Amino acid sequence: MVPFGTDETISRIVSAYSGMLLRLACTRLGSTADAEDAVQEAFLRLLTARPVFRDAEHEKAWLVRTTLQRASDIRRRAEQRNVPLEDMTEPAAPESPGEELRSAVRALPEMYGAVIHLHYYEGYSIKEIAKLLGLPAATVGTRLARGRERLRQMLKEDVV
Amino acid sequence: MNREDYRKAFDELSFSADFQERTADLLQQRARELEKERSNMTISKTKKMAVLIAACIALLAVSVSAAYMWLTPAQVAEEHDQPLLAEAFQGPDAIEINETVESGDFSITLLGLVTGRNLDVLNQDLEKDHTYSVLALRRLDGTPLENETFDFSGYTMTPLVAGCSPAAVNNWTLSAFAQGFAKDGVYYYLLDTQSIEMFADRTVYMAFYEGFAPSNDIFTVAEDGTIAFAEDFAGVQALFTLPLDPAKADRAAADAFVESTGMDGWTNERTAPEGDWDIERHETEDGEEITLRPKGEQ
């Protein structure tokens, strides 16, 4: 594949992955501005790390993992600086069903949140998620089942 | 909640309208800066290389056995545009290892590691130390490893700790970030994890192997907590013991970390092969609901 760094490849990658990565970052971050920072940092890593990808799937997997890691770092740093919870979440608004669901996903242990999102939003199969996250399929299956169970308890409804 | 509700919840999110344009501009500007820095670096390196070649010739006259040269961990950090890390690898806290294991077609050399705070210019973690480890890989038959063909993601480099389940303390739970590149036929891994010094009063390993997350297909744990590769694991493998300073251990933090992972269980028994699932299908108004559970789990 063409190395990342030319104007053309930068435009292609930013356009192809921004939406997916921003939503994925929001499984760990309550603020969309923080999610934008996480995704920008992931793209910047791509410039400096200069990995060479076998194919588009490899490229996507790298970006997914890096974005999740950047999002975790931002969240951890905010938590360690004791930023009050309300400052880490979206501006106070009447809690819509959508926000309730997003809050529940953010409250999941990180190992479950990403798997739940990739399955429910992106529609990936267990095998595809295993490949993206570099985990055994059995682990992804277990995390999906347990994450769903926790969401069910938090939302007090059926999660299918 | 079904898939439609889930998608609706995340589609409600509103991001900056100019995010893509702003990001592409930022990246293009940074790419040009990096290109400029690299051009300058190449000129300076060419001069240094002449001196280095002369030094190598002198060394070869003394000993042919010392013929193979690696980049140092500091040079690997420089290649990743990480000047603070490069400096740390030359500082007093750096641990030089330089141990080599030959496995399959490869020679695997753990070059060294260093632990510190704010060493990564792109990830200034103000509150936590990180451990950075460098490993070099080359083919025993001399065939060069190249960025274009080497399958970086097919291998895993991960710390493991005796007495802790490999499922609990590993790359994934330590939020690792691995990067790699090939230079002069050698492939270099730079692994960034949360600090592993809290485990320093136990045996801490650095494992390198062909495959993904640690599982009992790859590792066994003895009764005394010692970790080894499974006898029937045929992939490329190397297990190094890290000479960490036990005085830096923090048993309470280590125990809390392991507990926080919720993954402390381990068995060497292989009972649940991958893909062994109970599948339930139900027709709904929206289509078909498919529930997948590991066999035996309710």
Instruction: State the helix-helix crossing angle for A110-120 and A56-80, rounded to 10 degrees.
Output: 140
- Consecutive 10-residue runs of chain B (298 residues): their mean pLDDT? 90 95 93 72 47 42 48 90 89 94 95 91 68 96 86 85 93 81 91 94 96 88 95 95 95 91 81 58 60 61
Interface check A12 vs B, CB under 8 A: no
Q: What is the pLDDT of residue B214?
A: 87
pTM: 0.54
- Which is higher by pLDDT, A96 or A153? A153
Yes or no: say if B255 and B168 are a contact pair by the CB < 8 Å rule: no
**What is the C-alpha to C-alpha distance for residues A73 and A75, in angstroms, rounded to an integer?**
5
**Residue among A14, A126, A136 minimizing CB distance to B27:** A14
Q: What is the pLDDT of residue B283?
A: 64
Q: What is the pLDDT of residue B123?
A: 58
Minimal-distance CA residue of chain B relative to A82 = B127
Task: List Cβ neighbours of A158 (8 Å cut-off, separation of 6 or more).
Answer: A152, B1
Q: What is the pLDDT of residue B149?
A: 80
Yes or no: say if B207 and B158 are a contact pair by the CB < 8 Å rule: yes
**What is the C-alpha to C-alpha distance for residues B66 and B186, in angstroms, rounded to an integer?**
16
**What is the C-alpha to C-alpha distance for residues B217 and A56, in angstroms, rounded to an integer?**
29
CA atoms within 13 A on the CB side of A133: 32
Minimal-distance CA residue of chain B relative to A121 = B7
Interface check A79 vs B, CB under 8 A: no
Minimal-distance CA residue of chain B relative to A62 = B153
Interface check B179 vs A, CB under 8 A: yes
Structure tokens at B186: 């050698």
CB contact under 8 Å between A101 and B275, yes or no, is no
Furthest-apart CA atoms within chain A: distance in Å = 49
Closest CA to B203 of B166, B174, B232, B257: B166
ipTM above 0.95, yes or no: no
Yes or no: say if B88 and B94 are a contact pair by the CB < 8 Å rule: yes
Bridge partners for B138 per DSSP: B107
Distance of CA A133 to the CA centre of its chain: 11
Question: Residue B115: enclosing H or E segment and its boundaries?
Answer: strand B106-116
Structure tokens at A87: 């400052």
Q: What is the pLDDT of residue B277?
A: 59
**Cβ-based contacts of B213 with chain A (< 8 Å):** 134-136, 139
Flag whether pLDDT at A113 surpasses 70. Answer: yes
